[in-house]
Chain A
Amino acid sequence: MPAKKQYLSSGWRRLSKVLAIIFGAYAATATLHIALAKNVPNDTPVLLTSTYSSFLCWVGLMIMVFMIKRAWVGWSILIAIAGISSLLIFI
């Protein structure tokens, strides 16, 4: 019953993914929500929603990173989300 090994990543790729789900996915989640709050007329509901939707979003991104075989592809998606969101925050 344990998962079949041939599908699992190992070594550095695994470490990279673990770092991505904690730091990368968190950064993407936080910036995404703030960008949304900044670009709507009333940010209060968005901010309050983010107190729970952030965790769902974070977990969703974690699953995404694991489903993508190559760690760098996952990283680039996370960095892209964080980058675009940051642009929306600071412009």
Chain B
Amino acid sequence: MKKLKGLSNKNYNVLFHTHTVAGIVISFALFVIFYAGSFALFRNEITQWENADLRQPIQENFDLDTALMKIDSVYGLNYYKNTNIFPPSEESPVMYVYGAFNKTDTTTERMAAYISPINMHIQDVKEPLTTVGNTIYFLHYFRQIPVIGLYLSGFVALFFLFAIVTGLLIHWRNLLTKFYAFIKEGKWKTIWTNAHTVLGVIGLPFQMIYAITGAFFGLLILILLPVTFLLYEGDQEKLVNKVNPAAALEVDKDAPSYEHFSLTELRKNINHMYPEHHVRSVLVRNYGKEDALAFWRIDGKGILSSGSLAMRLKDGEVLEKYSIIPDKRNYSYSVIDFITKLHFGSFGGYTMRIIYFILAMITCFMIISGVLIWRTARDNNKYTLKQRLFHHIITKWYLAICLSMFPAFAVLFLSNKLIPIDLENRVDLVNKIFFLSWLVLTIVGLFWNKYSQQNRNYLIMGGFLSLLIPMVDGIVTGGWVWNTWKPHPWVSYIDLFWFFAGVISLYLSYFVLKVKDSTDTPQSLEMKSGIKESVDRKVILNPKPNFKRPTLKPELAITGINKARLKE
């Protein structure tokens, strides 16, 4: 096959080096982001799984106004501020309300609560009882790190984009010839390299999307700060008005009370107007007043089919000037929505999110294989023993941090079920258990000197813990797979996911991953033990080979089969 014209030799080496350095620096952080992010795609479903109170049959008919009044009676909502209501959906079968209430005469505080459409039972979200979905979601942009977490994750995304572009450039000349290089024989370096590049090419569009949209969410402030100061004299509102036409609408603080149309009725009207769409959320201002407004966010099937309808509650009229009509929206109103949907995979239904999940896992594998290339390529006589030990220790740390996430996530899921639901501060406790167990698992992993051993042991631990998850869920909440299958499919899918994850990883670790040859043992380590046995240090550090290795033609050296053929 024809080779593409690649970079010049100088540029190849320069970019190769920047790719390696950028990749190694961000690798484990990127792994954490992708691994946690892939689970965070199903955050709402996980929340439904973790909180047995949220497991309710999906209601077609629900009363938005009664729910709002009920919330108001508990919190004392300040309707002058924004109040958002999310109707029940397949992802989350209870209604979700967030708004603000008066804390003192001058200050307001935000509130968020779930409210059941069936019995109007309220659960506060700010002090939730359970935390799996949230912990994972926050972890994927490092929110647990105070202040800088989000920006840190943004910079990781930016350098991920850098690594993707430089990776594509250095791989360019082999892009066609190595497209199908799924080779699982030969030297470990070749295996890791082929896996890294082939999966990199296949996953390229997805990874580009993630790098750019991830940088967007993490570093948007860096883009918008100079814009507000240089173009809008520091007036943020002018910028917001450009993106959201509804922001220009104002309501009067002292408007008189008024008996306007009910939200429940108006929602039915919208369903008639847009039968292909569904209401994702409604934002109300001055509810119960004469100039009350509602902004309906509706969404359809395609990636650009969402819209926002501004409506006067007094007469139920849609204010087109302040609305974003679905499928007729212009470019400026589409960009942010488009980026959000691309990032959260919230288009194309569950299929798309499952594809996202798989691609994110492939990216995790790519990150690991990249680290392993880095080490294997440096495990030779060109490097001093000290350097090689350093490479080995770094790799060991990285693998321990990354691979221990599998059992640590299982611990997170388990601890949410095992800690009694009425225990005080249980959310803090669950988070502490999760992060401590991750730390302990990482440290334990540092004692395993072979990478294959690390991989296998984490798989075994994770496998056993995963198998416990559906059982513990069944025992604690009665949510056995066969009970939840019909009424709450996603609860059972999550249990089944863990069941199969456990079975597959145990199968792999006991029947497939029986690495007998020691090709993955770091040579540097063997040498280290060699020194202890008082072998002459100089010989190891400056070996003078007595024989010259036969050099193979590069294209022949790829597979073990060719090697065998040469021997013949």
Tell me how far the C-beta of B306 lies from the nearest C-beta in chain A, rounded to whole angstroms: 16
B224 / chain A contacts, CB cutoff of 8 Å: 51
Question: By DSSP majority rule, is chain A's interface helix, strand, loop, or mixed?
Answer: helix
B17 touches A26 (CB 8 A): no
A67 to B158, CA, bound (A): 19
A48 at the interface (CB under 8 A from B): yes
Q: Which of A1, A26, A34, A58 has the most CB of B within 10 A?
A: A1
Q: Which of these, A4, A33, A37, A48, contacts B243 with CB under 8 Å?
A: A48
A31 / chain B contacts, CB cutoff of 8 Å: 226
A82 to B21, CA, bound (A): 27
A60 to B162, CA, bound (A): 8
Tell me how far the C-beta of A2 lies from the nearest C-beta in chain B, rounded to whole angstroms: 5
**With A30-B226, A49-B335 given, is the CB distance from A2 to B231 under 8 Å?**
no
Proximity string of chain A (51-91) to chain B, C-beta cutoff 8 Å, 1 when within and 0 when not:
11011101110110011000000000000000000000100
A62 touches B162 (CB 8 A): yes
B20 touches A37 (CB 8 A): no
Q: Which of these, B11, B18, B193, B216, contacts A52 with CB under 8 Å?
A: B216
A51 to B211, CA, bound (A): 13
A52 / chain B contacts, CB cutoff of 8 Å: 212-213, 216, 335, 339
Proximity string of chain B (146-164) to chain A, C-beta cutoff 8 Å, 1 when within and 0 when not:
0000000000001001100
Question: By DSSP majority rule, is chain B's interface helix, strand, loop, or mixed?
Answer: helix
B243 / chain A contacts, CB cutoff of 8 Å: 44, 48
A63 touches B165 (CB 8 A): yes
A55 / chain B contacts, CB cutoff of 8 Å: 158, 161, 211-212, 215-216, 219
Q: Which of these, A8, A49, A54, A60, contacts B17 with CB under 8 Å?
A: A8
A26 / chain B contacts, CB cutoff of 8 Å: 222
Tell me how far the C-beta of A40 lies from the nearest C-beta in chain B, rounded to whole angstroms: 12
B122 at the interface (CB under 8 A from A): no
Proximity string of chain B (60-89) to chain A, C-beta cutoff 8 Å, 1 when within and 0 when not:
000000000000000000000000000000
B17 touches A67 (CB 8 A): no
**With A1-B189, A43-B231, A52-B216 given, is the CB distance from A66 to B18 under 8 Å?**
yes
B20 touches A2 (CB 8 A): yes
Kindly state the interface size class of chain B when it binds its partner. 35 or more
A60 to B10, CA, bound (A): 18
**With A45-B331, A62-B162 given, is the CB distance from A3 to B13 under 8 Å?**
yes
Closest to A65 in B: B18
**With A2-B378, A4-B13 given, is the CB distance from A44 to B332 under 8 Å?**
yes
Proximity string of chain B (195-239) to chain A, C-beta cutoff 8 Å, 1 when within and 0 when not:
000000000000000011101100110111011001100000001
B166 touches A63 (CB 8 A): yes
A86 to B223, CA, bound (A): 16
B223 touches A30 (CB 8 A): yes
**With A37-B231, A55-B161 given, is the CB distance from A48 to B13 under 8 Å?**
no
B16 / chain A contacts, CB cutoff of 8 Å: 2-3
Closest to A58 in B: B158
A7 at the interface (CB under 8 A from B): yes
B15 at the interface (CB under 8 A from A): yes
B158 touches A63 (CB 8 A): no
A7 to B18, CA, bound (A): 12
B14 touches A48 (CB 8 A): no
Tell me how far the C-beta of B23 lies from the nearest C-beta in chain A, rounded to whole angstroms: 12
A89 to B9, CA, bound (A): 40
Complex interface residues of chain B between 18 and 41 (CB less than 8 A to chain A): 18, 20
A56 touches B13 (CB 8 A): no
Tell me how far the C-beta of A1 lies from the nearest C-beta in chain B, rounded to whole angstroms: 4
**Closest 4 pairs between A and B when the two form their complex, measured CB to CB:** A3-B17, A7-B13, A48-B335, A1-B377
A contact residues vs B (CB 8 Å cutoff): 1-4, 7-8, 26, 30-31, 33-34, 37-38, 43-45, 47-52, 54-56, 58-60, 62-63, 66-67, 89
What 4 new A-B contacts, CB under 8 Å, besides A51-B339, A59-B161?
Answer: A43-B231, A50-B223, A52-B216, A55-B216
- CB<8 Å pairs between A and B, sample of 9: A1-B189, A26-B222, A45-B331, A48-B331, A51-B336, A52-B216, A54-B223, A66-B18, A67-B14
